[in-house]
Structure 1
Amino acid sequence: MASAETVTVSRLRDFPSPQGATAAIEAIFWETSHTSRFPSEADRTAYRDRWLGRYLEHFPEEAFVALSPEQAIIGYLVGCLVDPASHPLFVDVTYFPLFAHLTPDYPAHLHINLTAAWRGRGIGKRLIEAFADHAARRGIPGIHVVTGDGSRNNAFYLSCGFERLAYSSWNGNAIAFFGRRLNP
């Protein structure tokens, strides 16, 4: 397998075939999803739209991809620069009100996934840096992620400059808000 240095990180809009990219991104989304069984196809579609689809549809400028030397998509980051606790598009994500006191300072948020074969090589960090630079250039004060408190990915976010700023319980699970300042 090629080294991580030969992997390219770029904005999704710069990918030669954005529609082909969507299929590859969806494949990675389902490969890495913690939820794989749904009561109905409508529930499956709603899950995909909540954690991926709305970002591709409404915030395509904030989507990034990691490309192998063969130009295959091996990872992605989708996000947005608006405060999700006050934006109507995110009303269905019921944990955002729990962190509404933090989101004005850390409005941008993201979802990131890599295929298993490419993890642990610094590619996720490069995707985060691309998004952070993009947000900082637009005057966004900070970025955040909400994830399981104590999950394996907590160390990854800490290594990317995030701080664990708050935690709560949501749907019976412990969750944490990790924030990273971009602009004072």
Structure 2
Amino acid sequence: MRIRPYAPHDLDALYDICLRTGDNGRDATGVYADPRLLGEVYAAPYAAHDPSLVTVLVTDDDRVVGYVIGCRDTLAFEEWREREWWPPLRERYPLPDPADPSPDARLVRQIHDRTPAPPRPWLVEPATHPAHLHIDLLPEAQGTGWGRRMIEHLQGRLVDLGVPGLHLGVGGENHGAIAFYSRLGLEPLSAPDDGGLTLGTRLGTQDAARPEDTPSGALRAR
């Protein structure tokens, strides 16, 4: 396997991997009626916003089996997403019936939600952890050490851009991912809420993970 920069023809693979890891690390194919909906929220906007911060993991025949995606400035990304990304999706996905409890309905409500984000001290100027990332690997790529290398690659890019720190969100039940990030030196930035946990690290200060370490599961940037 090897890592390489993202190319536009990789977009469908981002959607696919996001879905196949989207149930706290498990395959969410049977969870969502619309197979692209999860990727519309957690993968594709990053490729549209700044493809230079998207790296893919590929097999010898160039099949994409994982990705790490991120942004250097969370608040700027959220402003762009509200201005450019959400409006066409809100037209494509009308608000569902309030009584609809399905996973698809919950994601569509998230697309339409304009509620201000709760206080995030790590984003208050001068922001200590302005960047964030998502990483997802298919099972065949987990436990290989590539997850650590991909995160280190993105961290190096962010350091080159002068970014002081990054954060990420992880599902509260994704214990393997939480343990992995803890070994990388990421620490909780706030108390868990809504089943999720926000972790962060100052760039250049994290401890190295063991070669066999790798994350699993869809991560939720907050």
Is this a same-fold pair by TM over 0.5? yes
Deviations 1:140-165 (Å, cap 9, x if unpaired)? 01011111235321011112221222
Take 1:9 and 1:75, find their aligned partners in 2: how far apart are those partners? Answer: 9
Q: Which has the higher contact order (CA 8 A, sep 6+)?
A: 2
Take 1:180 and 1:9, find their aligned partners in 2: how far apart are those partners? Answer: 23
- 3-state DSSP of counterpart to 2:121: coil
Take 2:200 and 2:66, find their aligned partners in 1: how far apart are those partners? Answer: 22
AA matched with 1:49: E
Of residues 72, 76, 97 in structure 1, which corresponds to 2:117? Answer: 97
**Residue 154 of structure 2 aligns with which residue?**
131
Take 1:128 and 1:168, find their aligned partners in 2: how far apart are those partners? Answer: 23
**Residue 24 of structure 1 aligns with which residue?**
13
Moved over 4 A (4+): 90-96
Q: Provide the TM-score with structure 1 as the length reference.
A: 0.78
- 3-state DSSP of counterpart to 2:60: coil
In the alignment of these two chains, the number of paired residues is: 167
Take 1:159 and 1:168, find their aligned partners in 2: how far apart are those partners? Answer: 19
Contact persistence 2:131–2:165 (CA under 8 A): yes
Take 2:139 and 2:65, find their aligned partners in 1: how far apart are those partners? Answer: 9
AA matched with 1:167: A
| Structure 1 residue 159 corresponds to structure 2 residue 148 | no
| Structure 1 residue 11 corresponds to structure 2 residue 2 | no
Take 1:111 and 1:168, find their aligned partners in 2: how far apart are those partners? Answer: 18
Q: Provide the TM-score with structure 2 as the length reference.
A: 0.66
Bigger share in strand: 1
Identity of aligned residues (%): 23
**Residue 148 of structure 1 aligns with which residue?**
171
Gaps of 5+ in 2: 83-109, 206-222
Take 1:33 and 1:137, find their aligned partners in 2: how far apart are those partners? Answer: 30
Take 2:154 and 2:183, find their aligned partners in 1: how far apart are those partners? Answer: 15
